[in-house]
Structure 1
Amino acid sequence: GVQQVRLRLLERTASGREAPRDVSAWAAVVASNLAMDWHRARRRQARLGERLAALRQSDQPSGEDTSLLSLAVAQGLDELPDVQRQVVVLRFYADLPVRGIAEELGIPEGTVKSRLHTAVRALRARLHEDEVV
């Protein structure tokens, strides 16, 4: 955590922005934000583990059904425009939050949300069209 705070301060000064007036207060806020991000990520991972465990215990579709679903999702992703596919992959495969995607791509968060909404709607329609889900 301390290294991350120092790194953020170095990045801030390297980008040409002036140093904070009260470095200790700034560092405390940054450390708090980093800790919250870390805890959120742990909770997200725990929820994901719980969902996966529940899926394992419930009646699972046969291997053939999951293969068909995987193939349909892959084909649906291939049919998406590049900008939509990019945000879907970053959100659902890389598990980046909307803010992280926006920063990574250099676009507004609203644009990320819009592209995600449109892409998910198109994928859902594709899966229902193929009667895979």
Structure 2
Amino acid sequence: MGHGHAVQEELREPARALRRAIPEVYDGYRQMHAAAYAAGALDEKTKELMALAIAVSKECDGCIASHARGAVRTGATEAEVAEALGVAIAMNGGPGTVYGPRAFAAYREFAAEGELQPG
């Protein structure tokens, strides 16, 4: 199991427990998330690439795993992910060179699964 899957697995049960404890908060977040990621002037893929770059900036492994998977799901290519991460590195310096490769590895991990490839 790669790092992306390990992070998601580690967070799965604690997230479920918290979601059960504060369902209104999670429902509000789900609604906001759906609205923010819906295709509009920017398509879903572009928004996932933005989110992945922001996840690197925030140094959030859970966010990286989620948005790496989202990038695969929306059809982002390895080259597109690499360029988005290049911008994250440019904006973040040294920390970007740590979390950028984590994000790239997570993208490649989820892309290798095949069933997430658009089709």
* TM-score of the two chains, using structure 1 as the length reference: 0.35
Larger radius of gyration: 1
* TM-score of the two chains, using structure 2 as the length reference: 0.37
Higher relative contact order structure (alpha carbons within 8 Å, sequence separation ≥ 6)? 2
